[in-house]
Each structure stands twice: as C-alpha cells, then as structure tokens.
Chain A
C-alpha cells in the first residue's frame, strides 16, 4: 500500500511549524516518486504545503526564508505569495512577474493539531478526535506493515495516522487523548523497535 490519490495524509503537527518556520518532509510510496514538501507558516498564521522546489532553478524552498506572508527562495530571492504565485524577482525588479511563474502548492487542511495534505484529496481529513499531537515517530518499514502492527497493538488513548515517506519509511503521527505525550512516545518507540528488528 502506498500514497493513494484522494486520501488526506498528516504530514506535520501544527507545533512543528511556528510562524516564520519552514518544515521539511516528504510523501511517497512503493511505486511512486517521493514528493519532497516544504511546509511553512506565514506571519498571519496561514499554513502552506508546497513542493520543496523553486520552479526557477530547482533549489529546495526549505533552504529559504519566510518573509512576512511570503516565502523567499535562497538562491535568487524570488518571492512567492500564499497559493504559490511569484510576486517579485530582484534580478528584474521592474518586470511584472508572469503568472506562469508559480510554486506548486498542495491542498492543505489543519485539523486537530495536525497539518494534512494529499493528491486531490476528497472531502475533509479523517477525524482523530480530541487530544494533543504526539511527536512524530519514523519507522523504517513499509506503510502496510506499520498499519498491520498498529491494528494489532494495544495502544489505548492513541488515535494514529500514517505518512508514507518512501519505499520502506513510514511516519506515525496522531493524537493522545489524555495529553501524556511522553507515554505515547515510549509506547510507539517500543513498537518501532519491534518492527525494525524483524528483518
């Protein structure tokens, strides 16, 4: 199983992305290219999920800088507004920037302390309930295996969701109902050890 078009995937916790910060992650799967993502928050609080690549010369946006409500690429300081439109090119400051110059912005939803995206996601992200967002736990196993293990594990009070990262890499994200993030972290770390030790 891999990233499915139409599905929503949690790719960050809200607390991973304070205002002005760029968070780097990826979404991929067994038979698809890994899509690198740059997740950033404008000064007005809005969260953006973009392909981590400036359309000009391919430099990762995650190397760049949030300036107010815009993201500035580190290479040539081109500025991009929320939604992805390029607004300013310092090498040609008097030029009206053509509409074709555009960062690739992914759909984004913020719900229950998590940031969600996907390829043409349908409807709303899954409802995980109430609680505190746990620390993300990367597991070096394919998504299907992690999913099976989680279904069999006894993890009370945890509502979990999976982010496929590559062929063999999955990130566990979710909420803990009683807010005890440290206990959730210990339980998931134990599960990770168990999964990764099975060769």
Chain B
C-alpha cells in the first residue's frame, strides 16, 4: 500500500503522447515519484511499465497513454467532444514545469493574467478588467466557472481580429481542467482545450495540453505551435511561484473577486482532502 495521496494514486494520469511513441524511442518519465518507461511495439500497441516491474493499469485515450498506479476507482476522464467527428484530438507535447500540479491547473483557470502574460494574444492592456462570473460545484465533484468574458486580440491562430471571447472553465479531477471558448469562425460553437498536469513529484509536473478544436482552416501543426507559445509564456511565471505547492488555507495568499475560480478550486481540493502538491490548510503553521 502506497503512502502517496490516494486521490492521485488511484486516479489516471497521462504519461506520454502516442504520436511521440510511434515516431521515436521509448519515453522515460516519472509519475508520483515512480519511474516509468512507455514504448510502442512493432504492431503500434503501447506498453507502460514501472522500472521495478510492479504491475500498473494502462489505457489509451485522446492521443495519450494513461496510467493508474493504484486501484482505479473510475475510468479515464470522459470527454464527450472527443467523439464529435469534426474535432480531431491534437496533443501539444509534454512540457515539464518545475512546480506542483495544482499551481499549473490554477493558472489555467486564471483570467487576470491573460492581458499581461499573454499580451496581444489572449488579452491586452487596457482590456484587462475581469468582469463578474459565476462559479458552481459540479455534481460529480469539481467546479465550473461560467459567464467568463475576455477581450482577445488573437484568440487562436484563425482569429483575424480581436473580439470579446466567452469562456467556460471546468475542473473535473484535481489535475485535469478544461475550457470552452468561442471558435473565431464558428462563433456559436466552442473549441475545447484540456490541460492535464502529470504529477512527477510534489513540486514537479509535466503539462499535457489537449486541443479539441473545430475545423476552421488551422492545421494541427499551427494549433500545436500556438498552444506551445501560450504555455511557454506561462512557464516562467509558474516556475517563479513561491512556494511551489499550492497553499490551501484561506488567507495564505490574497485573492480578489476576479480570483473566484481559484478560491473555489482551492476549497474543493481542501474538501476532498488532497495532500499531494499542496500545503493543506491545517498544516499552514508548520
């Protein structure tokens, strides 16, 4: 029996992109401190194993290989949009970040940084005001933020002009989040962007963004490039947050109304008793 946080130990985590495995050597990675090797065989099947050969559970979804080190209590996160025939699943690479997974997820939910960290793409000074939005609990656990709006000069590769973009954000698992944003061509339908944070250790993660975008003339390569650019703008911020673990106690950091989704995310992690990659509320004084 592992002493690692059972919430993560018994959940599924992406550990490698299938396209990388098909075209290259095996991927060596670490999940929750456990070294893994993932390889494709001659028939194109994927095999994940622990380097100590202790058995694990494996699955393959959305262009990613998923692993559960403990006893899976539920399947890999269901993504209904992945079944829509006009939405190819595009993975964006596996990007190592020297911070805790929950910091990576919280940053994805954050509206206030768009005009600065992603200036001239996902926001711009002086259109930096975060208008009021709504945050609710999801019935199966997690949170949903609705009614989010942000003026974006270059919302995606296909955008030809700035426009007010509507967003919905969800966190359905502690280290899995997604957003729905209006597609610049099909403004009545939404592009869906997921971000999974693979917990390498308590203070290191690997980000796996996944795009489920509508066909708007953008190639998969351009989508990848754009999303990598955006993530590379976030990376230096994430790696300069102190402490690396997300503090869960109210008042440990100082949120304002615009940070409603961050507050809800932290409170939800507290409520479910998450301990890995966070500073639990009761341990704050330690």
Contact = CB atoms under 8 A, between A and B. Distances in A.
Tell me, yes or no, whether A binds B: yes
Contacts of B257: 92, 95
Most chain A beta-carbon neighbours within 10 Å: one of B115, B125, B242, B257: B242
Interface in B229-251: 236-237, 240-243, 247
B268 interface: no
B242 A77 contact: no
Interface string A94-109: 0100001100000000
Interface string A113-149: 0000000000000000000000000000000000000
A74 B115 CA distance: 11
B169 to A, nearest CB: 16
Contact of B130 (A36, A74, A91): A91
B240 A90 contact: no
A63 interface: yes
Contacts of A90: 112, 115-116, 125-126, 128-129
B264 interface: no
A105 B126 CA distance: 28
A28 to B, nearest CB: 14
A59 B254 contact: no
Which bracket fits the contact residues of B? 20 to 34
B125 A59 contact: no
A77 B241 contact: no
Given A63-B237, A74-B237, A90-B125, A56 B242 contact: no
A92 B258 contact: yes
A55 interface: yes
B242 A58 contact: yes
Instruction: Bin the interface of chain A by size.
Output: 20 to 34
A59 B237 contact: yes
Nearest to B247: A58
A63 B240 contact: yes
B237 A91 contact: no
B113 A75 contact: yes
Contact of B112 (A36, A74, A76, A100): A76
A36 B254 contact: no
Contacts of B255: 56
Nearest to B243: A58
Given A53-B242, A59-B240, A92-B130, A77 B256 contact: no
A44 B129 CA distance: 30
A112 interface: no
Interface in A51-98: 52-53, 55-60, 63, 74-77, 89-93, 95
B276 to A, nearest CB: 18
B253 A56 contact: yes
Chain B CB within 10 A, most for which of A74, A89, A90: A90
A89 B116 CA distance: 12
Contacts of B241: 57-60
Contacts of A91: 111-112, 128-130, 256, 258
A55 B128 contact: no
B30 interface: no
Contacts of B175: none
Interface string B114-137: 011100000001101110000000
Given A60-B240, A60-B241, A74-B237, 10 more contacts: A52-B242, A56-B255, A57-B241, A59-B242, A75-B117, A77-B115, A77-B125, A90-B125, A91-B256, A101-B254
Interface of B: 111-113, 115-117, 125-126, 128-130, 236-237, 240-243, 247, 253-258
14 contacts: A55-B254, A63-B237, A74-B116, A74-B237, A75-B117, A76-B116, A77-B125, A90-B112, A90-B115, A90-B125, A91-B258, A93-B128, A93-B129, A95-B257
